[in-house]
Amino acid sequence: MDEPQAGPDAAVSLHPFEHEPAPPEGRKLIRNPAVVARGIGLGALTAGLAGLAVVSARKFGWFATPAAVVAGGSALLSGWAALIHLTGGEKFDDHRWI
C-alpha cells in the first residue's frame, strides 16, 4: 500500500506528543567515569559479601546460615548493580527526548 504523503491534503494528527525521532547519540568509550568507579566499588563489595557468606557458612556451620543467606543475597543484589553500572548505567525511560 502507499504510505500517506505530507501536504495540504494530509490528515493532521491530534496527538500532542507526536514528533520526529531524536538524533542518535554519539558513541563514547566511557560515558561517565563516576558510574564506572561506582561499578568497580560495587564489584568489590560483591566479592567481599560472597566471601563472607562462604567463610561464615564453612566456619560456623548451621549457626551462621541466616547471616550467610543475608550476605549471599546482598552479594547477588550488589553484583547486579555492579553489572548495571559497568555496562553504562540505566536509562529510566527509553524515549530519546527525555
Q: Fill in the DSSP letter of residue 76.
A: H
Tell me the C-alpha distance between 5 and 55, whole Å: 69
- DSSP track, 64-85: GHHHHHHHHHHHHHHHHHHHHH
- Is residue 97 over pLDDT 60? no
- Is residue 40 over pLDDT 80? yes
**pTM > 0.75: yes or no:** no
Residue type, 87: T
- Cβ atoms 51, 57 nearer than 8 A: no
What are the domain boundaries of the chain? Answer: 33-86
pLDDT digits (tens, 9 = 90+) for 58-86: 999 889 999 999 999 999 999 999 998 88
The 3-state DSSP class for residue 36 equals: helix
Confidence at 5, pLDDT banded by 50, 70, 90: low
